[in-house]
Chain A
Amino acid sequence: MKGQVFAITLVVISGVATFIMFISTVDSLSLTRDTFYREYRFADVFINLKRAPESLKDKLKDVPGVNQIETRVSAYVKLAISGFPEPVNAAIISIPDDGKPLLNRLYIRKGRLADPTKDNEVVINENFAQAHGFNPGDRFAVIINGKWKTLTITGIALSPEFVLLMKPEAMSPDFKRYGVLWMSRKALSKAYDMDGAFNNVVLTLYPDAKLSDVLAQLDTIVEQYGGFGAYARKDQISHRLLSGEFQQLQRSSEIFPTIFIFVAAFLLNVVMSRTINTQREQIAALKAFGYNNIDIGFHYAKLVVLIISAGLVGGIAAGIWFGKMLGGIYMEVYRFPFLIYTLHPKVIIAAVLISIASALVGTFHSLWRAAKQPPAEAMRPEPPAQYRVTLIEKTGIGRWLTQPSRIIARNIERKPIRTFLSIIGIAVACATMISSGFFKDSIAFMVNVQFVLSQKEDMTVAFAESTSRRAIYELKELPGVHHAETFRTVPAKLKFGHRSYKTRINGIEPDSRLHLLLDTNLQAISLPPSGIVLTDHLGKILGVKAGDMLTVEVLEGSKPIRQVPVVALVTLYLGVMGYMDLTALNRLMREGDAISGAYLVTDPMYSEKLYQSFIKMPRVSGTVLRRNEVRNFHDVQAKGMLFFTFIATLMACSIAFGVVYNSARIALSERSRELSSLRVLGYTRGEISYILLGELGLITLIAIPLGFFIGYWLCAYIAQALASDLFRVPLVIETKTYSLAAAVVLASALASGLIVRHKLDHLDLVEVLKTRE
């Protein structure tokens, strides 16, 4: 039983390890996040406005429910970093002159805070520092309010506000091209003429505060100061992205361990029922000596627990190891000052109880049979197995079968449930493998749709403020610009019934060549002259379909509130947005020909020159390069995915090996007599291997297409479960992924087949003839 126990142990280890890995990672990241938020006082509510006098702060503080409040000055700046020609942007945020911020405190990793008496010192965020290799003392240039200024880095910090840092309009994090700078309030106010004023507020609430009421009251107060709408933590970009990712992790922690526990229970069932069958006589003898059913049942339960224990110990150890590894991978993207790795005892207890319970349930039937047998009956050998002519033979194919093939067919049909479960087990291994490849396929597909089919521009240039359409001519005249199209972006709250979502509406040119909207069949659709087009995910969030009337509350300018019909839902895998015809959007805004930026097709030869021009153009606040977006998306996903693929492959192999090996061993122990008899009759080793391994081969071959099918549905479930605001996973599985899954399963089956074949070669022909069946 050594080999079989090993195979079961492998499966239990995989199951327990994934369970522990996922749950402990979710728990650790949640605990880390909560601790960081609490200790570094992450705000509950955020407000951006144009400019308000500091005296407004008291008024805001008087709003019932508001606990602590802090006003800040913030801006969006362009940077020039020597040796890095591409445009770099940063958010610059004030810190109080008397030292530590009250809210959204900084964790200083290196160096110190900026000196409030100096106007050229900044603290920068860690991702950004690492991306450029910055250390305290290093300098870079920045355009602050139209003026070049050289800043010295005094410290490298982390903030609960930017755990997952992403440029507001970007699709994925880009630590090289977007950073956060913290500067003393005095220096920053001076630079932006904000003395005695602020344009950003963060505040915390009392636990009993009613969020919606507070937000409404705050909005009313800041309205006349150009408020862009107060928003809660759940809409804060870093927090929102983080929550989405945590949710994905949580879902994964439900899917995969379940698969394993099922497989482990099944394997134990098969092994235990076989063990008990071979030990009928011992059981009978024990009962004859006066042991009762409970004693016997308990004896085998102990055996099951013993087998499981090894897997549990290994699984818990591996789970902690994998959990720390996965936590480490997440920490490269999520910036927490520390990772508090935590494994609640209750998680271990759950793993132990679930494993043992499922194993006992799996073996219960066999245990029950062992316990209930009257001793006299148990001491007799089992009656000869009953066989029938199989259905497949009755179809007429039977005539063409050789006797060995007939033996295979009849053995498979005689134990339909076991055969079925073996097939399911192998199919699940195949499906697990497909689910890991699926991530790669779907991301490749997603990137292709987003960055090849839908967004064809080389660069996106954003203006600091909405500008007259004429600004486009300035861009078109630049050397290397082949084509330019304008766009207008407006922050807005979209409401339908009781549901609402804060996002941006993108107004694009109706006959755009660069920004195409795709329907569910990936065909470009023309933008209707009026009405709004939503990404399908946003449609789902809001519960709207084409034809519904949406309430659009614009969050800038004159803040109009309008009813706009939804004209279509489009397929976009990244982001959650609304699209309108540029003219229609401007009409809605009651603004003239305003634009927020332009999409450009450029000559790569002129890239560096263009970057220099954009840095110098005061109106241009930022530039996004499409190829960077593609690369970043891959970079961020790649590591996590590689790890996941590794785990999934490990799991798939262990399941496939565990199931096939156990089936093979049990078949061998059940058939060794028959196979030895055939050897005596003159069958060669190869010929008897065919009978045993042919059966397994057949089961594997049936299991693989079934595995494809289950894999497809598993992926469909994962895709649906993992959909977040950041991205949706399209259900795309390449042929390559299916082939690889089949190959891994076949290889595992072959490996276990070879081990069993080795045993077949050493059958004791003489021994088997002396014993009765």
Chain B
Amino acid sequence: MIAKEGQANDSVEVVFQVRDLTKIYEMGEVEVHALRGANLELYSGELVVLLGPSGSGKSTLLNILGGLDTATSGYVSYRGKNLTKANEQELTEYRRFHVGFVFQFYNLIPSLTARENVAVVTEIASNPMVPEDALALVGLTDRLDHFPAQLSGGEQQRVAIARAISKNPEVLLCDEPTGALDSKTGIVVLEALERINRELGTATAIITHNADIAGMADRVVHLSNGRITEVKVNTVKKSPCELQW
């Protein structure tokens, strides 16, 4: 049972709490309001899809949650710790030990093999998996020693997922993970994410502008124009293989 927004629930912990979050970018003389007072909670173990068109503020929100960016005003906490007040060093540490990232363009290190790309993270994490196990979770056991240039886009993204989960993070933040992939490959990647969420219980937030992906989420957060416009709980979760676009 997943708690609805604003409802306290004893059985699940709040991972992120977001209050009145705003973000203003100064682009020359123009101010861009990327977030205009967002409020949100994310709970442990849930899979949330943040849905919105481009420019809706979803990437900004994810970047602030991931400690990659700082808010202009408002409040964000991770397990009770105030992220808005964290300094550069604390944010680095936060990313290092608690958050897993998956990006649209994979961001693998081209000079390292699949296994080594995972090892990049396991080497510095406090409680990591064995890189091979992480790659097995995404079905790449037979591609361990391939370089990114030798892997397909879907395979590269699965390596990125393996890398993200190999530190056993408490949250997994995915920014358009299927954005650069065709639908068939995209579904394979989503299956990997769904499996991680199910088997490891890692709280997962997926950003997408693709409404079809929303079907696999526990909750769907709609963003528009820097505000959260709707939070919907999926009573029936679809399996990624049932999705199509």
Contact = CB atoms under 8 A, between A and B. Distances in A.
A130 B204 CA distance: 89
Interface string A362-390: 00000000000000000000011111110
A411 B111 contact: yes
Contacts of B116: 403, 406
A384 B110 contact: yes
B149 A387 contact: yes
Interface in A407-421: 407, 410-411, 414
Contacts of B124: 682-683, 687
A215 interface: no
Given A384-B110, A765-B68, A766-B69, A681 B95 contact: yes
B103 A769 contact: yes
B12 interface: no
Nearest to A387: B111
Nearest to B69: A766
B121 interface: yes
Interface in A646-679: 673-674, 677-679
Given A385-B110, A403-B109, A407-B109, 17 more contacts: A384-B148, A403-B120, A403-B123, A407-B112, A674-B109, A677-B103, A678-B109, A680-B101, A681-B95, A681-B120, A681-B163, A682-B92, A682-B99, A684-B89, A687-B124, A766-B68, A772-B105
Given A680-B68, A680-B95, A681-B163, A769 B105 contact: yes
A558 interface: no
Contact residues of A: prevailing secondary structure: helix
Interface residues of A, number: 35
A771 interface: yes
Contacts of A679: 92
Contacts of B35: none
A673 B107 contact: yes
A403 B63 contact: no
Interface string B109-143: 11111001001110111000000000000000000
Contacts of B123: 402-403
B137 to A, nearest CB: 18
Contacts of B120: 403-404, 678, 681
A677 B109 contact: yes
A773 B96 contact: no
A410 B107 contact: no
B199 to A, nearest CB: 22
A681 B101 contact: yes
Contact of B147 (A386, A768, A771): A386
Given A680-B101, A680-B107, A681-B96, A406 B112 contact: yes
A75 B113 CA distance: 88
A383 B96 contact: no
Contacts of B109: 403, 407, 674, 677-678
B95 A384 contact: no
A769 B175 contact: yes
Contacts of A386: 147, 149
Contacts of A772: 105, 180
B105 A773 contact: yes
B78 interface: no
A683 B96 contact: yes
Contacts of A770: 59, 104
Contacts of A685: 92
A685 B119 CA distance: 19
B97 interface: yes
Contact of A384 (B66, B104, B149): B149
A681 B109 CA distance: 12
B182 interface: no
Nearest to B101: A680
A687 B123 CA distance: 12
A687 B89 CA distance: 13
Contacts of A771: 105
Contacts of B105: 769, 771-773
Contacts of B180: 772
Interface string B49-78: 000000000010001001011000000000
B132 to A, nearest CB: 15
Contacts of B163: 681
A414 B68 contact: no
A684 to B, nearest CB: 5
Contact of B110 (A387, A406, A684): A387
B93 interface: yes
Nearest to B122: A403
A414 B149 CA distance: 14
Contacts of B59: 770
Interface string A758-771: 00000001101111
A370 B173 CA distance: 39
B97 A682 contact: yes
Nearest to A680: B101
A682 B110 contact: no
A487 B214 CA distance: 109
B217 to A, nearest CB: 22
Contacts of A684: 89, 92, 96
Contacts of A687: 124
Nearest to A407: B111
Interface in A477-494: none
A404 B121 CA distance: 11
B110 A674 contact: yes
Interface in B172-201: 175, 180
A154 B101 CA distance: 93
A660 to B, nearest CB: 21
8 contacts: A385-B111, A674-B110, A677-B107, A678-B120, A683-B92, A683-B124, A769-B107, A773-B105
B110 to A, nearest CB: 5
Nearest to B93: A682
Nearest to B116: A403
A685 B87 CA distance: 13
Contact of B121 (A402, A411, A681, A766): A681
Contacts of B95: 680-682
Contacts of A682: 92-93, 95-97, 99, 121, 124-125
A480 B123 CA distance: 81
